[in-house]
Structure 1
């Protein structure tokens, strides 16, 4: 490629690299759900060797770039940062991702001789009972819809969400259960009323894999802003799939079901949730001085010490001990190692409430990663110049979920002593089933008949900053 660098040749030291790539996916991320304020524009790109990489354009540099990047077009980019791929659910398994800045320049290029690798559908049969599946990797699948259920409205983590379930079948008769929500429902709902006998072929780009339990079953769902649903579009992949259906012969017509959703997903965080859970309340644990591990349905009511959300830990593999400054050095008192700097890990103390009680919970690194979606190191780097509480941390307030906590004598001697959280479960199925009372209380809490006085608006806006 002459002056251009292949994506596999990128390093974090090459700030002046130039790449020539095709845009596979272009989408916008907002600051929060339902907000119109843009947080960033995200791109998925591939080079001439079909290597895929993710790119992020932060909102402060968005004015430098076109409002819309045309998917399928080829662009040349130069002068960008090469950073660690921080996304939890990844459009690319590349070690790095690109981050554009004020020095980044671009131009659109001719694409006639540039390879085309827009979609990479994965065969259904390779997903089931495959221990090598990485559930953090977003994948492409293609199939025809053979069953679709009427949309259902649910409240998940305090947000009203519309879900729709459907079944995809490949040319060999293998099937996948799917659950999509929000914007995708508008595309799929008309199919519930469709009388067409022609096969409805769907290419799903960047969907999320969900493990379906001990039988090795795999289900897929949409993944926020990145998933793209392409129904009977004119592209080589869908055309080839339709031709393969013709080779087989007559197909089973699509079945539309008007009943509510029936597909279920087991939370991959905790296999035990595939069985009926036994819940304990915070009050019961305190009053009966119950020792052991318990599942508690609770709401995060606040963050205690919101500026002390991480700590510097030992770098030795398997040792998460907090480093102490001793005689000018960072030392681990567990393995007796000395380090120049440690690894940042989450340690977040929060105030949890259920219907009758309240307690302090400690969330550690794994659970915080699951909720926040990024490592403590990346969050710190993105916010090290931020004054006051970090929005990713304060954004946890109000979330309702299931916590598996550990209780021992310490919590009963001194009730300010926090319960360590061993696991969380925020899977919508289980949260809806076990947290109904909390959601009802949450809905009542936000309704108020108190009339505002002069100056209240300004005061309430000030409160919203904290």
Structure 2
């Protein structure tokens, strides 16, 4: 029986429907499907339905594709060949529930896999489909990945397509190429982790058509079935041919839930006035025009009002001279959000997600001490940065010879990759609430592109023997703040004699230097008092040469 004649609605009174239902085998879950089970039947909801078009012509469909999900949330891909595509497209609707019966299973060798399932379904003319009512069937139809998880993807070719949701914080213009067009946008999640997304072809028009210039609101975008791509060592995402979908500022439960999560975030509130430029230009990569500061300058900025601004993060170029752990060099993280979980019996509880899970992932959490020509600082790097640097997940690290509870014992593989390596770090200033001199800086992003690192290393990692001459030619911000530009010793021409100064040359020099030191200490004490007023009972240690 052809597929065009066997799709029944729940209200159908056709006697053949009852007969077929009696003949149908017991329903099985998607996880139980296997090529050897040729009479399987499944109860599913259609999450995504789309046609593969020939040269973009909607009148010539090469095949009809569906992404199906069962009651357990497990997804599998289903394909209808060209001779069945038109009929299936007219009758199968997204969001509806169906019983699928009499189909074949084939290995999932798709170039861009829409699911992680080992197999995919191939429908034939003998396949049977029944539309059913299932009010209690799960409505959750998304497979979200956090931006931290995306940044840690090791092999972009092996990853199945996934969904993302976030706030658009930056947008490029439409790039018209000879055979296609593109648009780049930068998205941030509620944790201010970011990822760059490239929209291609029809998704550019789909995105621009949803922009209302008369409405000022935080631009929330949801992209279904995007794929990871690698661009200059950075993991980005991209739309994927016909399967992706781009939704902007829709009134849907999932978007309203995200809107509630970012409610009150001042940083995102300012982005409500973001304008989308239609000019043909690429979005500038942040690392292309970096403003890098010395560690000492960043330390000084924490005492000023600048650290109360919305974007209080700065780039530092430094060399790693030590690697250490807080308690251990790893922690058990939630598979959804990556936050730390608590083991309860044989399950793991995530306080951020408010959910239990049977599994958790080992994730990196290691401190490094970084030095430049001005000072040194301790920085805390999390899983995303270590995966980018090591090219491995925490559970793949060789821990031979490492004591499980020895916080001082870092795996050799980590030390070898980090020690004496020059890296650009984007660090977050420590605010009033958590400011402590003994606490590390949180690293938001790193840059290891050789040409960019070398450019700034030449400026910030010159020999310590040259520091004095460098400072003589160009005073830094920290020099002014700590009164280092005050003359530290009297300059007396060597040619002058004691007689010219009444025979008391050494005494005059000594008394003059004592006066200078007294004046310098007064300046430092005034600075310390102003800091104590701003920060409370905070002791500022100023080192003198």
Task: Provide TM-score, normalisation by structure 1.
Answer: 0.52
Q: Distance in 2 between matches of 1:63 and 1:255?
A: 40
| 1:236 alignment partner in structure 2 | 253
Secondary structure of the equivalent of 1:220?
A: strand
| 1:200 alignment partner in structure 2 | 219
User: Could you give the per-residue CA deviations for residues 136-181 of structure 1, whole angstroms, max 9, x where no partner exists?
Assistant: 42110001222222312102xxxx2121221112112122111112
Q: Among residues 152, 156, 178, which one is paired with 2:197 in the alignment?
A: 178
| 2:182 alignment partner in structure 1 | 163
Q: Among residues 111, 119, 136, which one is paired with 2:134 in the alignment?
A: 111
- For structure 2, the 5+ residue unaligned runs are 1-23, 286-545
Superposed CA RMSD in Å reads 2.5
Q: Against the structure 1 CA distance between its residues 41 and 258, is the aligned structure 2 distance closer, same or farther, given a 3 Å change threshold?
A: closer
Q: Distance in 2 between matches of 1:70 and 1:193?
A: 28
CA contact (8 A) 1:145 1:166 kept: yes
Q: Against the structure 1 CA distance between its residues 247 and 59, is the aligned structure 2 distance closer, same or farther, given a 3 Å change threshold?
A: same
User: Could you give the per-residue CA deviations for residues 174-216 of structure 1, whole angstroms, max 9, x where no partner exists?
Assistant: 22111112211222225677253211211111011112333xx
For 1:395-410, list aligned pairs within 5 A.
none
Secondary structure of the equivalent of 2:262?
A: helix
Shift of 1:131: 2.8
Q: Distance in 2 between matches of 1:135 and 1:120?
A: 16
| 1:256 alignment partner in structure 2 | 276
CA contact (8 A) 1:211 1:218 kept: yes
Q: Distance in 2 between matches of 1:234 and 1:213?
A: 36
Q: Against the structure 1 CA distance between its residues 22 and 14, is the aligned structure 2 distance closer, same or farther, given a 3 Å change threshold?
A: same
Using CA pairs below 8 Å that are at least 6 residues apart, which structure has the higher relative contact order?
A: 1
Q: Distance in 1 between matches of 2:211 and 2:46?
A: 33
User: Could you give the per-residue CA deviations for residues 314-357 of structure 1, whole angstroms, max 9, x where no partner exists?
Assistant: xxxxxxxxxxxxxxxxxxxxxxxxxxxxxxxxxxxxxxxxxxxx
CA contact (8 A) 1:192 1:257 kept: no
Secondary structure of the equivalent of 1:240?
A: helix
For 1:381-392, list aligned pairs within 5 A.
none
Q: Distance in 1 between matches of 2:93 and 2:278?
A: 37
Secondary structure of the equivalent of 2:180?
A: strand
- For structure 1, the 5+ residue unaligned runs are 266-466
User: Could you give the per-residue CA deviations for residues 256-290 of structure 1, whole angstroms, max 9, x where no partner exists?
Assistant: 3354332499xxxxxxxxxxxxxxxxxxxxxxxxx
Q: Distance in 2 between matches of 1:133 and 1:49?
A: 27
CA contact (8 A) 1:206 1:227 kept: yes
CA contact (8 A) 2:97 2:133 kept: yes
The structure with more radius of gyration: 2
Normalized per residue, the structure richer in helix is: 2
Number of residues paired by the alignment?
259
Secondary structure of the equivalent of 2:282?
A: coil
User: Could you give the per-residue CA deviations for residues 107-134 of structure 1, whole angstroms, max 9, x where no partner exists?
Assistant: 1111211112311221112221443665
CA contact (8 A) 2:25 2:39 kept: no
| 1:125 alignment partner in structure 2 | 148
Task: Provide TM-score, normalisation by structure 2.
Answer: 0.45
Q: Distance in 1 between matches of 2:46 and 2:211?
A: 33
Q: Distance in 2 between matches of 1:233 and 1:142?
A: 12
Secondary structure of the equivalent of 2:59?
A: coil
